[in-house]
Structure 1
Amino acid sequence: MERKKILVTGGAGFIGGNFVQYMVDKYRQCDIYNLDLLTYAGDLTKHKHIETKENYYFVKADIAEREKIIALFEKEKFDYVVHFAAESHVDRSITDPGVFVQTNVVGTQVLLDASRAVDVTKFVHVSTDEVYGELDFDATTFFTEETPLQPNSPYSASKASSDLLVRSYHETYGLPVNITRCSNNYGPYHFPEKLIPLTISRVLKDQKVPVYGDGKNIRDWLHVIDHCAAIDLVLHEGVNGEVYNVGGHNERTNLEVVKTIIKLLGKAEELIEFVKDRLGHDKRYAIDPTKLENLGWKPSYTFETGISQTIQWYLDNKEWWEKIISGEYQNYFEKQYTL
């Protein structure tokens, strides 16, 4: 039986990186290709334990480089594509929107064209709940797959644009696709500019933790391994052309998340420092994952269990994140928060 080839774009990033490891370990009869440009958030050290496995391959490439991507697809004839590769940090999109359009929109279109050329069995586009805009603080309201797209940041606008491109390739060309839209992820290998790892790394060093505005913005937190399992299910069981929301039913204010981490690390809340709110800061995200649950998915992590394990992971892997927060990242932090 011929081995199936699965291409994972953005497999050196946070969610994509966890997904690559998940797939390499679970599907030993399949060849898993990790395609990544290795930008500032890309890191291959996380894959040291799978580098020698015979079903893992790495390709360094820019998804927006049409000729190179088309040639790669024609050579390898991928059966499945799981597309994570994206510029994903909202703050950076406010500073430089053009980079987000190039990667998230143009890059996605190149991948879609390449996938059409080799007749992939399934193209899964990993998106975000941020394309829906924001919810008010009414705890009975949730994003569903039918919620209109109303992105509020250049990042979410670029993701919404790529979502619509993916949909159009299904409707126009019959390309077998699914779109997943997830809530905020957390877990191992999360880049330190994001709220949870930022808080952990700074609290461990007794440094001030910046919290935007009054800290009352609400996010629905999803453990990255639960997200990987959801994408795996959609890849194999998702109905072509359908969108699936992936949420953890773990709503917390940003301030609650920060205080939880501080408490678990045995530090004082005096480390919290409120800073000027960011532009276009959405009030609340919350997902109704009923459609995905009906497909057979359920999250396995509670927030309490997941956050405790995540903190322990950062305690056990200081060498990984300390290397990242030195140098250029420190310059970015100081520019962004000016504490």
Structure 2
Amino acid sequence: MIAAALAVPGDIDTVTGGYIYDRRLLEELRATGRDMRLVSLPSGFPFPSPQEMDQAMNALQALPASCPVIIDGLAFGALDPARVRLIKAPIVVLVHHPLALESGLPQDIQDHLWRTERENLRHAAQVLVPSPHTGAILTERYDVPAERIHVALPGIDRPAPVAPIAPVTLESPPLILSVGILHPRKGHDVLIDALAHLADQDWRAEIVGTPWEKGHSDALQDRIRHAGLSERITLAGRVSDRVLAQLYQRASIFALATRYEGYGIVFNEALVHGLPIVSCRTGAVPDTVPAAAGLLVDRDDPLAFAGALRSLLTDQDRRDRMAEAARLAGARLSSWAETARIAGLALDAAAAGRS
């Protein structure tokens, strides 16, 4: 098969949904026999310094026209459009979600990222997206022709039995598990506020995720303390795969008050572990979380989020029905091999210059 490349900003072993997607995609493409080269771009994207922009453009422009390259959207959407035109390699861009849709960006930054990503997408031979929702956003707001878009849903690694750190039983009180980087978009502040409305109920909660934005972890810890919930909510930060597997096994409910998701790999993880889900009606979440397995509310609404959690905490039968629906949905999820198969089609189409 043709030689190809995957260009990723920063460390591909970073623990976020986007980087997990990149890493598993690279592994599975190599497993199919493709000669895949990893091109490591500077970590400053999507806000690179001039030096980092030069390094990235030099690396990408050095690729020959015979080597199609998948460029992660975290970098691609912020590249200098005038220099993207000079890249000889056929481009497949992987858009996890458009950069301008990140939470908390000033309007001028949003406008800048929308313009650069829209312009750069004109020079992509093919486009990979992790959900139909993201594909629709690109056709509607970024003028990407639908025939250039390939929907490559994230795969799932089936949970394997792990040696217990402690006896694996459902927690009493019930454990509410939230997994997502410690970033404003993930809505952990909303979850904490929602849990403050449930002080009369019996529960404890673990929030797991790599600290991502400076000061945000401290702000969340302050929020927990001011709510008087320090004994009930653990802000765990990043944990090992083994500890996370234990938490999924011991949890009763998965909760993520996200403000936006281009897909949300953690929902797949919750489903394969048979966890009922409480989340928000935003982005790709309604397409990702089956109605029978999840309760979705408007984003930034702690009272509504608390109400959904309360309904599961107080109704064991409902929780059991949703857990069974989650298990059934998890059993139907696709594999990373299928994700790579679709990405391979995009690479071949880019190399051949066809839609």
TM interval, short-chain normalised: 0.3 to 0.5
> Whose radius of gyration is greater, 1 or 2?
2
| TM-score, normalised with respect to structure 1 | 0.38
TM-score by length of 2: 0.37
